[in-house]
Amino acid sequence: MVYTRWKCDRIPIFTLKLFTQEYPIQTFVGFLSMVFLWKHANYCSEETERKKGWWAGYPYWRDPIARRNEIKYKQIINNNNVDITDPKWTGSSREELERLKIIV
């Protein structure tokens, strides 16, 4: 079978074959980029950018997005009468929280 340019431009698997044969360095760089993104893309989020990337923007203690989220969550807690000492939220019993309150 002859891999003509006509076939390679129109059939996807032949397009990959042609590209890897004609541009091996770009193929290798593209593969390394995909591996890097697969490994590190889950690290990129608003939260990690705020905590680890403070040098590129606001420091986390005066970040406007963090302030907005903090105010929003405080309002949700206050407006819905959420008991933040409930074991459902803290993972420890009320007695244990009382004991910790005395210590601290």
pLDDT digit string (tens) for 70-92?
999 999 999 998 888 888 888 88
Q: Token pair of 74, please?
A: 């405080």
Is 90 inside a domain boundary? Answer: yes
Same domain for 34 and 11: yes
Is 72 inside a domain boundary? Answer: yes
Tell me which residue range forms the domain holding 30. Answer: 5-43
- Specify the number of domains making up the chain: 2
Is 48 inside a domain boundary? Answer: no
Please report, rounded to a whole number, the percentage of residues in the chain having pLDDT higher than 90: 30
**More confident of the two residues 55 and 25:** 25
Question: pLDDT at position 16, please?
Answer: 83
Same domain for 98 and 63: yes
How would residue 38 be classed by pLDDT, with cut points 50, 70 and 90? Answer: confident
Is 92 inside a domain boundary? Answer: yes
Is 94 inside a domain boundary? Answer: yes
81 contacts 74 by C-beta, under 8 angstroms:
no
Question: Quick check: 67 pLDDT over 70?
Answer: yes
Question: pLDDT at position 3, please?
Answer: 67
Full-model pTM: 0.39
Mean pLDDT, rounded, for 48-55: 73
Q: CA–CA distance from 79 to each of 25, 37, 75, 76, 83 (Å)?
A: 59, 41, 6, 5, 11
